[in-house]
Amino acid sequence: MSPVSLATWLVARGLNPQQARLWLKFIVSAYQLMLDAHSLLLTPEEWNSFLTGCPTRHPTEPDLTSGIGDRMERLWVDAPLGSERNKLRTSYEKPTPGDQHHGKHKTKADFCFQLKYGAGACLTIAVEAKPLRRPADISRKYLADSGLGCFVSRNPPYTRDPVGWMVGYILQSQLEVTWQETLTSSLADWPGVGTKRFGLIDRLDGKCAEVLASDHDRTAIAIADDITILHLLLDFRPHLSEA
């Protein structure tokens, strides 16, 4: 697969150039914030502080989500006024819009980024994270109804906006497994997620690492437009192998 720019990908899926530029700035800023929070969490001082709040020295998916979420909020608070990061609104365990359930029964996205760009005008990126301990977790968890299905088959979905994220927490020290290759082949073959195309985004226009993107049909939940999913893998294996 030859990488393309994110702007080119978004225009090809139906956004006009102005919309694509707005989404591009938003995505790059949010993506870098999550990467920076992950890097901060993995520093020795932060990791040891994080583990003191976990029931065991083997943190679970919710533990890691709150660890990253707390540090994203700290980095957002520290951002200079007027910076692209300062314009973001970030949260974790975000209730799903339109879900009429209450309390523990209400569905929640693991993370949510929002960018208000006018009165009554706001872009939203909902994020679902899944733990990956073995290759089978790609189909069993990551692409399941409780994973990518939160965007394409759950009603109401996590978002009705044109972009969402999936995040895989790599937890097991199986260094011989190439997770991106496993995910790519699974997206092509796995039924039920309505994959229309997938490919590599070229370093988010030079600002972040090369990432995998995929477009998915949402007609099963009465949304005519496809959703573009960006796939981010966060590696915790070195720290967990030492725990």
Asked if residue 232 lies in contact with residue 31, where contact means CB atoms within 8 angstroms, the answer is yes
Asked if residue 162 lies in contact with residue 228, where contact means CB atoms within 8 angstroms, the answer is yes
Total length of the chain: 243
Residue 96 has pLDDT above 80, yes or no: no
* Partner residues linked to 127 by β-bridges: 111, 165
- Residues 128-142: what's their mean pLDDT? 91
Joined together, the tokens standing for residue 75 give: 């980095």
Asked if residue 33 lies in contact with residue 90, where contact means CB atoms within 8 angstroms, the answer is yes
The answer to whether the pTM exceeds 0.85 is yes
pLDDT digits (tens, 9 = 90+) for 174-220: 655 677 788 888 887 776 677 889 898 987 756 666 789 999 999 98
Please give the single-letter amino acid code of residue 72.
M
Q: pLDDT class for 3, splitting at 50, 70, 90?
A: confident
- Residues 18-31: what's their mean pLDDT? 94
